[in-house]
Structure 1
């Protein structure tokens, strides 16, 4: 199989998995070989370069085992064609369900059959899902978005030209939305990582560098929240590289700073994080040459301030964190209840750090009130973190009242169900 632009599927999967260079993947394959019982195997960067070329050769069996093990996709998904199947039928399968991995597509087409209007229609549903995210429970919306993504995968081989690019971009956005729900709302980082790989593949089909940057930046959250700093920063390097191919708005660039700042905060590097946030504030203060992408509805100056307040809290700057977070709570849009649960949780943590258990419990209870109607796993994590810091006041009435709510029938069942 020939790839006019090189084997972008392998390259996308490599970068999404955290291997920002061909050398990094070669080193990882060499290191993983003994773990799979493969002895005496050494992979060089020249070999990886051949696999990412316009005419990638079919890898040897041991190489195939290592590639699928490290990148979590089969060989066809990674852009390789088995030597026994070089026909046009296989080429038509490149972005079907079996190629991307969401679901198989029963029918293959040899030529575009969909009208140009399918691009408008598919984009319209994607936009609707984007708006629904802020009010519909993730357990309800997530399967709908995944089904929409599966349909997009089926549509791709039936479209061509500009219509194909539009469907691919909307598909990338749908996969990104699904991954956001998996990571932030449902606390499923492994599933989110797999879905982000699919989002990056679709972004490459659309040749949309900015969407690719957004996907890569989201993928940095996964190792960042797990404390794997080097891996998170490598993914941010990739995200910034794609953003330079833009055109990126100042808000998008500031968001990249905020993502990296959160990863640094989670890894204990609060000084670096605060410097990044200061840089983001400076970026937002400049006039943007380019408009903000319409799909980027998760960031704003007040969201940047929310990042800042959390970092100030983790850095031990309690008075500053209280001031920042109180202002965020006042300025947050009324419809943004998910983020409000996080801010309330952070304010509760501020009061706990200042030895004010009653105030801490009051904020935590407000967060639980919202979580009862607007579930957000990240917000619940904040409340649970606060409760752990209140152990010194275990026998205080305010803490007991918080426990009654935190471990009530409805809250406990809700958490388990979600």
Structure 2
């Protein structure tokens, strides 16, 4: 695989914003210019190519405005170096797009002036990254997020002091770290705006490392952000970009392909496209049929055939195939390892939702109570969302004793304070 070159920051931001080609960005800039009524705002394909080159020129003021408005990031975070040599690392606010928060980890210049750190630094940094990846499943989300975010900040600083292959190795580990932080922010803490910014940063680091499959994983995660917000078009665009990255990888494990289909199913479900979601689940199941000798990347630890079955059960629930959903989810629950508490919370919540949809409030409350037991051990915002959805479905039985007992647990001091803090 040839190494990607050029302005990887701008390219990553362009693709993350949903513009798969340089021409698509040209068209978007033209639309934004017309909307803003900006005179002399025309940008050519040749200009965009220069901006994505290894030595991008500093954009004119009018083009800076268009880029920032279109991509939702300040121009000095898009790989451009101001002519006055300001390499400030201060965060600047995002101007538009899904996120409305600061971009906190600008990458250093793509070519370091000197390699001042030995190659062993990249090896040691990657070892710590692996440790955080394992700790994610055991440590409370706020703690692991704080530590992993600081680790990512440290990696960003180190990147400016590395050269050659060690720089690429360090960038790959940094991309993994940022992906982990984004996952925690999105799934564990329900901070989609912050997570979306992390995914942009992770994609930039993956570009420095020229890690296509890791880039596909980052883009696949980023599709959840608009997908859960009901923005089907943006989610689909990010998934198309993820698949394009995967096609450029040396080899793609079948389970990774299945995961991308599972992401599609989740997004389609959230957007109310249930038939399309079932079709995506079917494609995911087809992808893992047979023997696959392609090794999985070490960082790909969030998906398995059992997790695919959990995706399927949730989709069946949303479609209204309740007996099938119950059977699928019970099989998942039976085979789920005890230490997978976060996933257990989600599956229990879905089983509670099946019972509520079938008009059985007693069974629904019992399952929701089991889910709360898991949450008392390991907080997981996505799991709590499932329980709240169940409670809304139980409103017709709000005066039942089982429902009031569930309310007592949902709104006890500790649970309420944790929910508010998150």
* Distance (Å, rounded) in 1 between the aligned partners of 2:40 and 2:5: 33
Q: Tell me how far apart the structure 2 counterparts of residues 329 and 54 of structure 1 sit (CA, whole Å).
A: 51
- Contact 1:306 1:324 (8 Å CA) reproduced: yes
Q: Distance in 2 between matches of 1:216 and 1:357?
A: 39
- Per the alignment, do residues 20 and 103 of structure 1 end up closer, same or farther by CA in structure 2, a change over 3 Å counting? closer
Q: Does 1:206 align with 2:209?
A: yes
- Name the structure 1 match of 2:124: 121
Task: Find the counterpart in structure 1 of residue 186 from structure 2.
Answer: 183
TM-score, length of structure 1 as denominator length: 0.92
Deviation sequence 1:79-124 (CA, Å, 0-9, x none): 2222344xxxx7xx69x8879842799xx97311111211221011
**Mapped pair 1:141 → 2:144:** yes
More deviation, 163-172/53-62:
53-62
Q: CA deviation at 1:318?
A: 0.5
Q: Which residue of 1 aligns with 2:98?
A: none
Match of 1:23 in 2: 23
Q: CA deviation at 1:37?
A: 5.9
Determine the C-alpha separation between the residues in 2 that align with 1:104 and 1:194: 13
Cα distance between partner residues in 1 of 2:221 and 2:192:
11
2:419 is matched with 415
CA shift digits 1:29-55 (9 cap, x unpaired): 333336656357444444323322344
Assess, with a 3 A threshold, how the Cα gap between structure 1 residues 42 and 135 changes in structure 2: closer, same or farther.
same
When the two chains are superposed, the root-mean-square deviation of aligned CA atoms in Å is 2.3
Q: Which secondary structure does the structure 1 equivalent of 2:82 belong to?
A: coil
Structure 1 segment 8-407 matched on structure 2, within 5 A: 8-33=8-33, 36=36, 38=38, 41-85=41-85, 101-102=104-105, 110-246=113-249, 247-407=251-411
Check conservation: 1:4, 1:54, Cα contact below 8 A: no
Pairwise CA distance, 1:17:
1.8
Distance 1:153 1:62, change over 3 A: same
CA distance in 2: counterparts of 1:4 and 1:276, whole angstroms = 31
Distance 2:210 2:112 in 1: 22
Bigger Cα displacement from structure 2, 42-51 vs 318-327 = 42-51
Worse-superposed segment, 173-182 or 36-45: 36-45
Structure 1 gap segments, 5+ residues each? none
SS in 2 for 1:344: helix
Q: Is the 8 A contact 2:336 2:344 kept in 1?
A: yes
Moved more, 125-134 or 3-12: 3-12
Deviation per CA, 1:354-410: give whole Å up to 9, x if none. Answer: 010100010111111111121000000000011111111011111111111111111
**What is the CA-CA distance between 1:289 and the residue it aligns to?**
3.6
Distance of aligned partners of 1:45 and 1:147 in 2 relative to their CA distance in 1, 3 Å threshold: same
Aligned residues: 407
Q: Deviations over 1:146-183 (max 9, x none)?
A: 11011111111211222111110000000000000110
| Unmatched runs of 5 consecutive residues or more in structure 2 | 93-102
Report if the CA contact (8 A) 1:270-1:314 is conserved. yes
Deviation at 1:285, TM superposition (A): 1.6
**Counterparts of 2:184 and 2:405, CA distance in 1:** 30
- TM-score, reference length from structure 2: 0.91
Deviations 1:315-335 (A, max 9, x none): 110000000001111111111
Q: Secondary structure at the match of 1:359?
A: helix
Which secondary structure does the structure 2 equivalent of 1:338 belong to?
helix
Residues 112, 162 of structure 2: 8 Å contact kept: no
